[in-house]
Structure 1
Amino acid sequence: MGQSSKSRKTYLKVVQNVQLAGRSPRTRDTDEQAIMFMDEDAERVHHLYDDAIVITLLIADYTTRRVLVDNGSSTNILYYPAFQQMRLGRDQLRPVNSPLVGFGGMKVQPMGIVTLRVVVGTYPQVTKDVNFLVVDCSSSYNALIGRPTLNSWKAVMSTYHLSIKFPTEHGVGQVQGDQLASRECYLAMLATNEQVQTMNIEERKVVAETTEVLENVPLDENNPQRYTRVGTDLEKKTKHDLVQFLKKIIDVFAWSHEDMLSIDPSVITHCLNVYPSSTPIRQKKRVFAPERDNAIKEKVQKLTAAKFI
């Protein structure tokens, strides 16, 4: 709605005009997709319950768990511990003047506002830039998604199914709530005597800093692709002995799937520990994006050619 008094008055005037006219100025799209919730959408939900919808989102290329979906909130919130784990600098924060007002009139002054790219769902999915208010206070959640973002996704929530569905160019997308995470967050908020931590941020891209400079050392003179890397800080004699030893045992290295054909299947065969009397149930076929589908096919072909599967 905006932060200034003028923007709030403008918002109120628009709402009053809609009520007087009896219809919204937004034109209806004729190709809107119907969003429905079926009984099977609730099959993975443990009933009876009153759990909140807690989901996982990809925020700024980080897999962020424990994201609370709150259609009673007029803003999106990113808690400062999660902001720090995303390795975002405070110089990315833009100043904000309006405080957050909670139950009982308690006010919290945000540290600032930041715009981050958010991906919701797997496939089909929606990717949008989302404005988050960064707040430095204790919470069992990493982030909170409010009405502005839900409306921009055209999302439809079902608390009974613990699910959110939204239209995309490739069909209706869905993100399922994590019932276990929801209850863990609820219990953590009740434990007022314990320190609440938000430690469920996982990097999408692994960024590792090497402690020393490495150099490529070929192990097979006839095949330059067969090489390893050793540190340049090693002593000259130690490095020479190490390289000679690696060349001597080059046959233990596996450069491709085909190099592992001699492994006994009893070592690498995976068995499912299920009851023989149980009736097999076929899961629903998962739909992947075309690029992911091609990558899966290529991987399966390699494993099949190597007689891994």
Structure 2
Amino acid sequence: MNIVLYNYRTELRKNLKDTFIPLASFANDPSWSEGSIVLEVVLGKTPFKRTAHIEFLVVKANSQYNVILGRSAMMTFGAVTLPVHGMMKFSTPAGIATLYAERRRPIECVQINRTAVNPIFHEDGSISPNPEFLDQKIIIGNTIIKVTREKLYKILATNLDVFAWKDSDMTGVLRHIAEHKLGVNPNIQPVCQKKRGMAPDRSKFLRDEVKKLVKAGILREVKYQTWVANPVMVRKLDNSWRMCVDFIDINKACPKDNYPLPEID
């Protein structure tokens, strides 16, 4: 039996067919599916891939999986699974294809196996939670009692993986977890700002910053631009530069929120 698990996706409902097949959990508790649906399933990559239309039962449930392929799907693809090796083989017109399972550690195990790292304390009262990035400092207010501050230090030291310490740490978030889109009014003509000149020191910092973001996968080169916005360099308190972008034109083209936040914090 093939199953589609979903929590909040409602776009499936309009194509569902009524079904009266009950499902039983490991505790023999019966549950009813939302219906059945036929979806196109593609396994493998070109040229070692196969496509088939598989019928699924749609079940509303919280799960880390989106789809469960049952025996009928395995028979359709002629697939053979090897659970011990975390792989599956099936035949294609180009030959035998092999799929490998993702080697991800469970979140619970990662949390249990976390080891604390001793933060670096500076003379100005700030600390560097990650010894590998001493320039990234934080300050915990002196009004907080010593016991609470020590607990905060421990939390930071044992959860370094939560924070982005370099540019490449900010990428890799799956789109079904978080995705942002600009709600640009399609009736507005795209605006290309005229290029603004910059002083040599600003221009050099800008080039280095762009190269760093491109290397980290945050920015990518576009051959044919529609919207073009100029970068703006802002001086920080430590006399270094921060690269910003002048999005005034695209902001005008985006509809405003009906219930804006009083403060962004």
TM-score band by shorter chain is 0.3 to 0.5
| TM-score, normalised by the number of residues in structure 2 | 0.44
